[in-house]
């Protein structure tokens, strides 16, 4: 079986560096808020080109902390795309606020601008676009409408870290940017982790307090926060992974281009806007009979995955709560299928996937 993602192919060449980073943490013993966290935050801020990068426990907590910093709670509405990973709306619901599910664009799978505009009400408190599969949403359009309505914009950049919009890095495109370091994300740790990005000093210091039990100083709790810190060990690992990350983003373009060239005649392949550079968190195509496609691919020893099989608003937990029908979301959720993809995928393995797909 071909691996869906081969994390070992990345680990082998940096094994010694990772081990010596881990050893350094074992030796100094500052497992929480150790020096590697500060070092990582500095490097992340530089990479994205923003003033503040704040390490945290996961992509989900990054989104949660962003909403908490904006004082979002019961009675407030947050506009989210209906097509995403569940965390996007989960954090809104967790705070007692109301997710307002809008449709996506059939080409990019990102928030549809007209649907977003139509969803703004007097109770809207934030807009939370997702940069799905690695491609940034249309931030010029989104920001313009947000500014006109005095609304903050939170980018769910869990899949797009390393991606670019009009030459600017994902997570640095709006009021707050959030990303995930879940192992299979473009920049993955060896466990959970995430980061928050902003140019706003006030929001940054608020989020730093919130992720550490709302402490403004040791045992001085000025807010109700969470334990949302990133482990020093993960920060140490991420430092080495970030060092090779720009090269990996290039390798991802090469693999994606070969897939595109081979598959686009027969399938609806990813459509990346001229002004975007995708981080290729997933390589996702559309097929008509997905169940059959996945079964046949499995027989050919090629694993596939579905991101995502249904809309957020149709999840069982929301049953009877939201009366929404987002046509594009429902349609693409029934057709999308992701192929094996990772930056170190050799041509032989790519060819096996391509041959398998083209045989169907």
Contacts of 316 (CB under 8 A, 6+ apart): none
Cβ closest to ligand PLP, residue 128 vs residue 263? 128
Cβ closest to ligand PLP, residue 241 vs residue 350? 241
Query: Can you tell me the distance from the alpha carbon of 344 to that of 178, in angstroms, rounded to the nearest whole number?
Result: 26
Q: CB 267: neighbour CB atoms within 10 A?
A: 18
Q: Which of residues 218-237 bind ligand PLP (CB under 6 A)?
A: none
Would you give the binding string for ligand PLP spanning residues 39-78, x where CB under 6 A is met?
-------------------xxx------------------
180: contact with ligand PLP by CB under 6 A: yes
85: contact with ligand PLP by CB under 6 A: yes
- Output the smallest distance, CB 230 to ligand PLP, in A: 11
Query: Can you tell me the distance from the alpha carbon of 86 to that of 311, in angstroms, rounded to the nearest whole number?
Result: 9
- Output the smallest distance, CB 3 to ligand PLP, in A: 19
Query: Can you tell me the distance from the alpha carbon of 58 to that of 192, in angstroms, rounded to the nearest whole number?
Result: 5
Nearest alpha-carbon partner for 82 in 56, 58, 110:
110
Contacts of 237 (CB under 8 A, 6+ apart): 18, 21, 22, 189, 190
Query: Can you tell me the distance from the alpha carbon of 261 to that of 157, in angstroms, rounded to the nearest whole number?
Result: 27
- Check if the beta carbon of residue 222 is closer than 8 Å to that of residue 214: yes
* Torsion of Cα atoms, 295 then 296 then 302 then 308, to 10°: -40
**Token pair 């050799």: residue:** 346
- Output the smallest distance, CB 337 to ligand PLP, in A: 16
Cβ closest to ligand PLP, residue 61 vs residue 349? 61
Q: Which of residues 95-154 bind ligand PLP (CB under 6 A)?
A: 130
Cβ closest to ligand PLP, residue 58 vs residue 212? 58
84: contact with ligand PLP by CB under 6 A: yes
Would you give the binding string for ligand PLP spanning residues 192-211, x where CB under 6 A is met?
x-x-----------------
Query: Can you tell me the distance from the alpha carbon of 350 to that of 348, in angstroms, rounded to the nearest whole number?
Result: 5
- Output the smallest distance, CB 24 to ligand PLP, in A: 25
What is the gyration radius of the CA atoms in the chain, in angstroms?
A: 20
**Count, residues near ligand PLP per rule CB under 6 A:** 15
CA 192 centroid distance within chain: 13
Q: Nearest residue to ligand PLP, using CB?
A: 59
Q: Is 246 left (phi over 0), alpha (psi -120 to 50) or beta?
A: alpha
187: contact with ligand PLP by CB under 6 A: no
Would you give the binding string for ligand PLP spanning residues 2-41, x where CB under 6 A is met?
----------------------------------------
**Which segment (7-15, 81-89, 266-274, 331-339) binds ligand PLP by CB under 6 A?**
81-89
DSSP run (H or E) holding 55: strand 52-56
Cβ closest to ligand PLP, residue 62 vs residue 354? 62
Of positions 105, 156, 209, 240, contacts ligand PLP by CB under 6 A: 156
- 81-76-179 Cα angle (round to 5): 45
Q: Give me the residues that bind ligand PLP (CB under 6 A), please.
A: 58-60, 84-85, 87-88, 130, 156, 158-159, 180, 182, 192, 194
């Amino acid at each position: 079986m071909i691996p869906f993602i081969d994390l070992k192919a990345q680990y082998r060449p940096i094994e010694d560096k990772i081990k010596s980073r881990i050893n350094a943490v074992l030796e100094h013993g500052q497992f929480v808020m150790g020096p590697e966290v500060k070092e990582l935050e500095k490097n992340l801020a530089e990479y994205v080109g923003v003033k503040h990068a704040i390490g945290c426990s996961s992509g989900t907590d990054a989104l949660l902390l962003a909403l908490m910093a904006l004082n979002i709670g019961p009675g407030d509405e947050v506009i989210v795309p209906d097509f995403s990973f569940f965390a996007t709306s989960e954090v809104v619901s967790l705070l007692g606020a109301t997710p307002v599910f809008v449709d996506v664009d059939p080409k990019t799978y990102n928030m549809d601008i007209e649907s977003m505009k139509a969803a703004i009400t007097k109770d809207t408190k934030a807009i939370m676009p997702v940069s799905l599969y690695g491609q940034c949403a249309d931030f010029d359009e989104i920001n313009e409408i947000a500014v006109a309505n005095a609304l903050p914009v939170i980018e769910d950049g869990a899949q797009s870290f390393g991606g670019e919009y009009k030459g600017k890095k994902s997570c640095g495109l709006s009021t707050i940017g959030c990303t995930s370091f879940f192992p299979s994300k473009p920049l993955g740790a060896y466990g959970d982790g995430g980061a928050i990005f902003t140019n706003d000093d006030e929001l940054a210091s608020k989020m730093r307090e919130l992720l550490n039990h709302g402490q403004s100083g040791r045992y001085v709790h000025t807010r109700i926060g969470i334990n949302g810190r990133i482990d020093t060990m993960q920060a140490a690992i991420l430092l080495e992974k970030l060092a090779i990350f720009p090269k990996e983003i290039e390798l991802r373009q090469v693999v994606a281009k070969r897939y595109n060239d081979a598959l686009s005649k027969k399938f609806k392949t990813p459509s990346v806007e001229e002004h975007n550079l995708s981080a290729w968190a997933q390589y996702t195509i559309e097929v008509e009979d997905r169940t059959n496609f996945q079964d046949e691919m499995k027989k050919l020893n090629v694993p596939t995955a579905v991101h995502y099989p249904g809309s957020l608003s149709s999840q069982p937990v929301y049953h009877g709560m939201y009366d929404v029908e987002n046509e594009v979301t429902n349609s693409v959720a029934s057709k999308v299928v992701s192929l094996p993809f990772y930056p170190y995928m050799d041509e032989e393995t790519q060819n096996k996937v391509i041959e398998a797909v083209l045989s169907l």
